[in-house]
Each structure stands twice: as C-alpha cells, then as structure tokens.
Amino acid sequence: MVSTWSNWSGAVVCRPESIVFPRTEDELSAVVRQAGEDGQTVRVVGTGHSSTGIVGTDQVLVSLDRMSGLVSADRETHRARLLAGTKIRAAGAVLLEQGLAMENMGDIDVQAIAGAVGTGTHGTGRTLGNIPSRVTDIRMVNGAGELVDCGADPELLRAARVSIGALGIFTEIELQCLPAYRLHERTWVEPFAGTMENLDARIAENRSYEFFWMPANDKTYHKVLNITTEASMAGNSKSAIGSEGERIGWSPQIIPSVRENKFHEMEYAIPAEAGPECFARVRERFLAKHAASVQWPVEYRTVAADDAMLSPHGGRASVTISLHQAAHLPYGEFFED
C-alpha cells in the first residue's frame, strides 16, 4: 500500500510503495535482500530533519524507529554502543545514567543517531568535531543485505561516516564519549556592530560559541558554553532566540535547543579563515534583496576538522553559516540567491 512521507519542514514529500519498520538486523537484511531481488531501491529515514531530498523514494523506505536503545557502555574506555534508531535525546539520557556524555551535540536533539552520523550533524566549537568524528565503529547492512562491521577496516569507517545512506543502513553505532560533564551557558544580545570585532576572541576563549544575526533589528544573539564543576542552576528557557541569562546543567540538558516553529534550512560550510568575509557578504546580500520577505535569524558556528571522506569539514576547520525560512513561506529564490 502506498503511503505518504514528508520531512519535518514539509519541503520533501514522497509516496513510497512501502514503509517498513525492522526490529532486528535479520529483519533489516531480509528487507534489503528482497528489495534487491525485486529490483527496488531502498532509502532509510531517521526523524526527517534533513532539509535535503536524500530520503525521498517511491519504492522502499526503511524506518529505524524500532531499533533503539543502548547496547553497551564501558566506563573505562568511555565508549558506548547504541542502536542506530536511538534518538539523540534518549542517547543523552541513557549515557548520563552510565556516567558518560557525547563530546558535543547539535542545535537540536530529536534526530536519530544514525541520521546525525550519516549527514554530518554538528554543534559548535573550534576544537569540537561533528558527531561522526567521534564514531569508533559502525555496523550496517549493505546493499546486498550483508552485515558489515566497519570498525575492522579504517578506510571503510572513514567512508561510512557522513555516507548519507550510500554504503548501507546503519544498525549500531559506537561513540567515543567523555565522562559526564556540566556546562555553564551564558546568552546575551548586542548590536551587530561589535559582533565581528570580538568574533575571534569569543571563538578562542570558549569551548562553544555561536551567534545568530537577527535581520529584523540588526542585533545578534550570542551563546557560549563552558565546562564547569558548579552545581546545576536553572535559567531561561532554551527555546527562545533572543533571551538573555545563564544556566548550568549536564551537557545533554544544556547544549540542545527547542525548535518548535518549523523551517527550511540551507547551510554553507567554508574554511574557517573565510568565515567573517563570507558572513559579511551573506548579510549584505540579505539586506539588499531579502530583508522584506525573510525574518529568520542567520546562524554562525565553528567546527573542527575531521577525516570522513564526504564530510563538509574534511581536512579543514570550518565555519558554518545557516540560513532559514519559515516552513509555510517560499524559500527557493532566497536559497538559490
């Protein structure tokens, strides 16, 4: 029976012939083998938070929702193995129970860990790589329905990180974690004029730093995170860009934001040294052509280099600049420009 699937923003819509929910590696292998015998393509979906069309198919769509949970955790090596459909929010909670934490997380935590690894999801911090950079092993089912352990082959593991589903469907992911840690978050708003002047110092002085330029008032919202041993402290809601204040908590409780309003997103990943000039050009173009139709903020983050073959940050430190438009409004002309 044909069903309709769409990504979170509604920009990608497809009508797969079937959507399947395997519970085990054996079930997943059988699905892939059968599709191969039938001459059908197979795509895999996590939570649909990618803004690209990599999931869309009119044939077989595999959901990893039923392959979720902690497989193992080692407090001595700080390594943890998760089923591929585990949502990052759930991963953060279960790792904390084991005294562990991911080195970094993205701007949100609703994605499946497989999707975050496969698409190169990242947070911010000049010394912090993207999520796949901390992957030490991947088990997957390849296009022939065979189970493959990528950790036994370093080059295959490099290829599997940020592989956008091209090598196979992940079943388990092993992460190099850290001992659980608390973060002190500070947020504030200031006029844009001082933002670029202080940019390099803020990036250098903080574990994580990012800013959002708000075109509606030409101000910037800043967020810094640093490890602390201080006790937890409640603060402002993590959902509102533009709120000011401080709070302290365990890393999975502090790093992610809540994004309730749906949007389309496009992101540049550029060499770190080109970040300020690129942002200046984006801002100039935005104000000249799109200020009346787009009110969403533009996000500026930093990412350390990694060695994944298809990573946007492969072999170089990067700056990412993310542009957004409300999900119910046209976005094509804005992004293309």
Q: pLDDT for 237-276, tens place per residue?
A: 555 676 789 999 999 999 999 888 899 999 999 999 999 9
Whole-model pTM?
0.94
In this prediction, residue 52 carries a pLDDT of: 84
Residue 270 CA to residue 74 CA, distance in Å, equals: 36
Strand partners, 270: 319
Which CATH architecture best describes the domain 5-63? 2-Layer Sandwich (3.30)
Residue intervals in the chain for CATH 3.30.465.10: 70-178
List the chain pLDDT tens, one digit each, 337 residues. 568 999 889 889 999 999 999 999 999 999 999 999 999 999 999 999 888 888 889 999 999 999 999 999 999 999 999 999 999 999 999 999 999 999 999 999 999 999 999 999 999 999 999 999 999 999 999 999 999 999 999 999 999 999 999 999 999 999 999 999 999 999 999 999 999 999 999 999 999 999 999 999 999 999 999 999 999 888 765 556 767 899 999 999 999 998 888 999 999 999 999 999 999 999 999 999 999 999 999 999 999 999 999 999 999 999 999 999 999 999 899 999 8
The predicted pLDDT at position 62 comes to 97
Q: How far apart are CA 14 and CA 21, in angstroms?
A: 17
C-alpha distances out from residue 194 to 8, 199, 219, Å: 35, 9, 10
Residue 147 · residue 137 · CB < 8 Å: no
What is the CATH architecture assignment of 70-178?
Answer: 2-Layer Sandwich (3.30)
Close Cβ partners of 114 (under 8 Å, ≥ 6 residues apart):
44, 46, 64, 84, 85, 169, 170, 173
pLDDT at 238: 58
Residue of 252, 84, 254, 107 lying closest to 175 (CA atoms): 84
What residue ranges of the chain are covered by domains with CATH 3.30.43.10? 5-63
pLDDT score, position 154? 97
Q: Return the CATH architecture of domain 182-336.
A: 3-Layer(aba) Sandwich (3.40)
Structure token digits, residue 312: 């946007």
How, if at all, do strands 60-63 and 18-20 pair? parallel
142 vs 138, 146, 249, CA distance in Å?
A: 12, 5, 40
**CB count in 10 Å sphere of residue 149:** 13
Tell me the sheet residues that pair with 318: 271, 303
d(CA 315, CA 317): 7
Q: Is 331 exposed, middle or buried (0-12, 13-18, 19+ CB in 10 A)?
A: buried
| 242 φ/ψ sector (left φ>0, alpha ψ -120 to 50, else beta) | left
